């Protein structure tokens, strides 16, 4: 009877996985219907000495928490919507997308190689949960919070959203009494950290490839990028000719790492090239950066009154922090927030910091490049020029690469010739095309004037700096005269 009962449980579980009636579905504008699959719990009815199966909406337990729902209030692209009005999608829908693609990826390799790589049900559940929760620790305004605001108010803070995601996962489990196997929970957290500076190097002893599906610290190919590249391109009204489906459907595990067909080399390159193009045209758009610089200044001015950074180590407080903090500053009547409030109002009225000019740092200067500061610009003025103060200038240094700085990420990716081959190998660019880039990073220095009447003076000082540093004006174009003469 016991054997038959177990077989009945297994059969019912398999049916539940195939039959979408057992799942909660959400319609997504990128992937269509996303299903939050149930997870079985076996309970024993002692009176009848039989086993029963309870289908529990396991993933929904995490989604239907205030901590996960908070992701609706975090725009995926931070302040980019103020230049690209359609870019108002949230971390919430992106997280659901990564959950779905993580499941598709692990199901693909299981379907092709299930017997040889031994993927179990708990492995699938773990990878999908890591995809769902990988961004639950993000702060307001996307990466601006951790990369620009916190280092300014906390003297070079190295706080990361990945570390906070791990803390938030533990908090959600404890606060909502979610029953989850401790081994699964630990593996989920390791997967979330897989591409961060704090990724564990020695805790993964088997099935290493599973840790590269959501956040790949080995070569940068992961379903997180698959989702946001397509989702961000669509939201901004841009075309996207990168097809993640081609890589998702043909990936293969060889020697405990995910490898790709040699004929898909250009598709892999297109992943990194499309990401770099989004950074150049969307994420680091000159006007987007101007707005971000203003928001960082506003948050810094408000920090003393609002103690914005006080919650960054405490999930119980941190989950209450979201993009609405800008609205909080804008609508406050407190005199202590007047300077910050005035800056936010300038953004609303489109009285932005004025982009003066930019230059690309020469390739041979990048390795030992020293950050340019407003003081460098001020000190480059000549006698008789309109006097400037450091507070009049803002400098933005933008790095655009293929995920590995000046290194080519494709060199760390392994390929296979065909499905009959057991041999994996790296592939150098020159074997594919001489049109592929020979250098993998751009570094761009942009200078902004905080006051429109000083654009001319700031532009001139910036040109003097370039002449003094490089012996020439390295900028691509001159600052328009109409901006220089604006008063």
**What is the rounded CA–CA span in Å between residue 278 and residue 260?**
24
Could you identify the residue written with the tokens 């803002």?
394
**Three-state DSSP class for residue 52:** strand
**What is the rounded CA–CA span in Å between residue 97 and residue 34?**
8
Could you identify the residue written with the tokens 């690469």?
401
**What is the rounded CA–CA span in Å between residue 426 and residue 358?**
37
Residue 141 Rama label (left phi>0; alpha psi -120 to 50; beta): left
Could you identify the residue written with the tokens 């397509």?
230
In the structure encoding, which two tokens stand for residue 381, read together?
Answer: 């003025």
CB proximity list for 224: less than 8 A, separation 6 or greater: 98, 131, 134, 214, 215
What's the Cα-to-Cα distance from 53 to each of 18, 21, 421, rounded to whole Å?
A: 16, 16, 42
CB proximity list for 437: less than 8 A, separation 6 or greater: none
**What is the rounded CA–CA span in Å between residue 90 and residue 29?**
12
Active site residues: 161
Find out whether 404 and 276 touch, Cβ atoms under 8 Å: no
**What is the rounded CA–CA span in Å between residue 108 and residue 391?**
55
**What is the rounded CA–CA span in Å between residue 363 and residue 420?**
42
């Amino acid at each position: 009877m016991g054997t038959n009962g177990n077989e009945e449980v297994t059969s019912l579980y398999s049916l539940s996985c195939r039959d979408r009636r057992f799942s909660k579905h959400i319609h997504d504008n990128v992937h269509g219907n996303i299903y939050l699959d149930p997870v079985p719990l076996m309970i024993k009815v002692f009176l009848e000495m039989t086993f029963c199966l309870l289908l529990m909406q396991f993933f929904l337990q995490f989604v239907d928490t205030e901590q996960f729902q908070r992701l609706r209030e975090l725009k995926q692209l931070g302040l980019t919507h103020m230049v690209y009005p359609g870019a108002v999608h949230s971390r919430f829908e992106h997280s659901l997308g990564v959950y779905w693609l993580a499941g598709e990826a692990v199901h693909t390799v299981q379907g092709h190689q299930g017997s040889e790589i031994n993927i179990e049900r708990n492995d699938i559940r773990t990878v999908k949960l890591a995809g769902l929760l990988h961004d639950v620790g993000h702060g307001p305004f996307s990466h601006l919070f951790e990369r620009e605001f916190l280092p300014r108010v906390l003297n070079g803070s190295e706080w990361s959203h990945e570390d906070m995601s791990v803390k938030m996962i533990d908090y959600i489990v404890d606060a909502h009494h979610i029953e989850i196997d401790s081994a699964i929970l630990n593996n989920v957290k390791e997967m979330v950290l897989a591409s961060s500076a704090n990724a564990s190097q020695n805790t993964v002893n088997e099935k290493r490839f599973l840790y590269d599906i959501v956040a790949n610290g080995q070569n940068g190919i992961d379903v997180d990028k698959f989702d946001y590249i397509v989702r961000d391109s669509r939201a901004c009204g841009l075309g996207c000719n990168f097809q993640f489906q081609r890589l998702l459907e043909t990936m293969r595990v060889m020697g405990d790492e995910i490898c790709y067909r040699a004929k898909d080399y250009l598709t892999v390159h297109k992943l990194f090239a499309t990401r770099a193009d989004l950074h150049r045209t969307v994420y680091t758009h000159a006007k987007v950066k101007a707005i971000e610089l203003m928001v960082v200044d506003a948050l810094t001015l408000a920090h003393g009154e609002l103690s914005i950074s006080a919650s960054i180590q405490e999930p119980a407080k941190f989950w209450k922090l979201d993009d609405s903090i800008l609205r909080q500053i804008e609508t406050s009547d407190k005199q202590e927030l007047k300077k910050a409030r005035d800056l936010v109002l300038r953004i609303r009225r489109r009285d932005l910091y004025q982009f003066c000019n930019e230059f690309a740092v020469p390739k041979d200067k990048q390795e030992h490049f020293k950050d340019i500061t407003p003081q460098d610009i001020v000190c480059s003025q000549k006698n008789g020029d309109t006097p400037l103060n450091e507070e009049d200038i803002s400098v933005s240094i933008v790095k655009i690469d293929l995920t590995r700085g000046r290194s080519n990420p494709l060199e760390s990716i392994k390929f296979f010739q065909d499905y009959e081959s057991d041999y994996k190998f790296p592939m150098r660019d020159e074997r594919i095309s001489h049109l592929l880039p020979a250098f993998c990073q751009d570094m761009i220095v942009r200078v902004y004037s905080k006051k429109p009447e000083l654009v001319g003076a700031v532009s001139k000082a910036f040109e003097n700096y370039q002449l003094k540093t490089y012996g020439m004006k390295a900028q691509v174009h001159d600052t328009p005269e109409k901006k220089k003469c604006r008063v």
